[in-house]
Amino acid sequence: MEKLIIQGGNRLKGRVRVSSAKNAVLPIIAATMLGTTPSTLLEIPNLEDVGTICKVIESLGVKVTFKKEKDEIIFDASELTAIEAPEDLVRRMRASFLVMGPLLARKGEAKISLPGGCAIGARPIDLHLKAFEALGAKIEITEDYVHATTPNGLQGSQIYLDFPSVGATENVMMAACMAEGKTIIENVAEEPEIVDLATYLNSMGANIRGAGTNVIRIEGVKELKGAVHTVIPDRIEAGTYLIAAAMAGGDVYVENALSEHLKPVVAKLKEAGVTVEEDIDGIRVVSDGKLKAVDIKTLPYPGFPTDMQAQFMALTTIAHGTSTVTETVFENRFMHVAELRKMGAHIDIDNRKAIVEGVNGLHGAEVNATDLRAGAALVCGALSAEGETKVGRLHHIDRGYDDFVGKLQRLGANIVRIDE
């Protein structure tokens, strides 16, 4: 079994470049299915999840060609040959469900396994399905899969999402851009990844306005063509390096980080006593590792991102005083608490609120990544801890961090990956 072995205590110093955003690249790869001519995506990060979504769309007939540069991929969806996504891939990664919108738009039918729950919560898909129904889809749900058909094609509609779900907004946007007539979607997610998807769809010929606000208006078009697109930088990867440097202490410039996308994270780091300087090319963080307690509460964008909650909780474990961390987006996203406790953290949980009593420092321990960001949080904790930490279940981390070990090593961290 592979593990990360981290000797804590090294200060981090230097520059680290953020890759393109996992959560933008996945829906955009699904959206390449909408084009009748090939799309080229540039600066694609090397992530397990990218491999998974590529396999899903290949199984549906898309020809995926990796250019020599490896971070450039051509997607030819001129012929979609299937409407059913392989169950194991959908179960492995929830974002696979994002092929439903494009399949309904291009083929008028889709059969996809239920993505099911995972470590961070139940994660139902009712909002996706309700919105597809509003566009005229007929939905049949069996124990294992969802079968959607469009007997009269997709028709533009007025849709209100009960919660600004990122995935539902993306799925419905992709379906609606080829529906007949106008669609108005209210209470949509406003995340930067939604804006990036809309930018790509518009460059394919779609007519989408309002992405980045809470109402999206779409005028349906008959056909979309492929386009060339560079995906936005990963704000969560950027935030993870900011936290790592804040906790371990040091002076790190996170290149390619867009401060516009990281406002709550930067604000909370400053409140914790960290020096943060923002410019157009990135964000610099300078820290002596002495941190003050802060309270955070996760919310849909532009609120504090749930995908930074675990890493920020790691930071509060060594901040002076009592911090609270409230998770409002997912109902079960505190799996990292038990692992952080093994490293000496003092954390109590009261329903969706974690109360963290800062300790003078964490110590090394044997821990496991329970999900992607939990894994990142443990690595952040380990870099600041006294002694050796072993982190297992690395497949979670591999889903979303491109060259995590290499990037941290170049900042001076003592971290290696071994096969035990």
Ligand X SMILES: CC(=O)N[C@H]1[C@@H](OP(=O)(O)OP(=O)(O)OC[C@H]2O[C@@H](n3ccc(=O)[nH]c3=O)[C@H](O)[C@@H]2O)O[C@H](CO)[C@@H](O)[C@@H]1O
Check whether 269 is labelled as a binding-site residue. no
Closest CA to 265 of 235, 287, 293: 235
Asked if 95 interacts with ligand PEP (CB under 6 A), we say yes
Of 97 and 132, which has the nearer Cβ to ligand PEP?
97
How far is 10 from 20, CA to CA, in rounded Å?
Answer: 27
For residue 400, the partner it binds in ligand X, ligand PEP, none, with Cβ less than 5 to 8 A by kind, is ligand PEP
How far is 29 from 26, CA to CA, in rounded Å?
Answer: 5
Check whether 73 is labelled as a binding-site residue. no
What is the pairing mode between strands 346-350 and 319-320?
unpaired
> Which region among 102-110, 158-166, 196-204, 267-275 touches ligand X (by CB under 6 A)?
158-166
For residue 373, the partner it binds in ligand PEP, ligand X, none, with Cβ less than 5 to 8 A by kind, is ligand PEP
Beta strands in 114-156 (DSSP E): 138-141, 145-149
Cite the DSSP H helix spans in 187-304. 192-203, 235-248, 263-271
Check whether 23 is labelled as a binding-site residue. yes
For residue 126, the partner it binds in ligand X, ligand PEP, none, with Cβ less than 5 to 8 A by kind, is ligand X
Of 265 and 318, which has the nearer Cβ to ligand X?
265
List the one residue from 3, 94, 106, 268 that touches ligand PEP (CB under 6 A). 94
List the one residue from 168, 262, 369, 383 that touches ligand X (CB under 6 A). 168
Residue given tokens 């993306």 in the structure block: 170
Closest CA to 234 of 394, 101, 56, 50: 50
Query: 392: helix, coil or strand?
Result: strand
List the one residue from 128, 229, 261, 407 that touches ligand X (CB under 6 A). 128
113 alpha carbon, distance to own chain's centre: 21
Asked if 400 interacts with ligand PEP (CB under 6 A), we say yes
Sites for ligand PEP among residues 107-146 (CB under 6 A)? 120
Check whether 127 is labelled as a binding-site residue. yes
Asked if 306 interacts with ligand X (CB under 6 A), we say yes
Residue 334, beta-bridge partner list: none
Total binding residues toward ligand PEP, as defined by CB under 6 A? 8
How far is 22 from 15, CA to CA, in rounded Å?
Answer: 21
Asked if 95 interacts with ligand X (CB under 6 A), we say yes
Cβ partners under 8 Å of residue 79, min gap 6: 61
| Residues known to be catalytic | 118
Instruction: Report whether 66 contacts 73 (CB < 8 A).
Output: yes
List the structure tokens of 133.
Answer: 């129904």
Binding mask of the shown chain, residues 313 to 352, with x at each position contacting ligand PEP by CB under 6 A: ----------------------------------------
Asked if 192 interacts with ligand X (CB under 6 A), we say no
For residue 4, the partner it binds in ligand PEP, ligand X, none, with Cβ less than 5 to 8 A by kind, is none
- List of long-range contacts for 338-344, beta carbons under 8 Å, 24+ apart: 339/367, 339/368, 339/370, 339/374, 339/378, 340/313, 340/314, 340/377, 340/378, 340/381, 342/366, 342/367, 343/317, 343/367, 343/378, 343/381, 343/382, 343/385, 343/389, 344/317, 344/385
What minimum distance in Å lies between the beta carbon of 167 and ligand X?
3
Beta strands in 322-365 (DSSP E): 322-326, 346-350, 353-357
List the structure tokens of 103.
Answer: 């399949």
List the one residue from 191, 234, 237, 307 that touches ligand PEP (CB under 6 A). 307
For residue 128, the partner it binds in ligand X, ligand PEP, none, with Cβ less than 5 to 8 A by kind, is ligand X
List the one residue from 329, 340, 379, 391 that touches ligand X (CB under 6 A). 329
Sites for ligand PEP among residues 348-387 (CB under 6 A)? 372-373
How far is 124 from 117, CA to CA, in rounded Å?
Answer: 7
For residue 134, the partner it binds in ligand PEP, ligand X, none, with Cβ less than 5 to 8 A by kind, is none
List the one residue from 63, 82, 88, 124 that touches ligand X (CB under 6 A). 124
List the structure tokens of 312.
Answer: 């920020």
List contacts with ligand PEP (CB under 6 A).
23, 94-95, 120, 307, 372-373, 400
Binding residues for phosphoenolpyruvate: 22-23
- For ligand X, the binding residues (CB under 6 A) are 23, 26, 94-95, 121-128, 163, 165-168, 189, 306-307, 329-330
Q: Which residues are annotated as a binding site for UDP-N-acetyl-alpha-D-glucosamine?
A: 94, 123-127, 307, 329
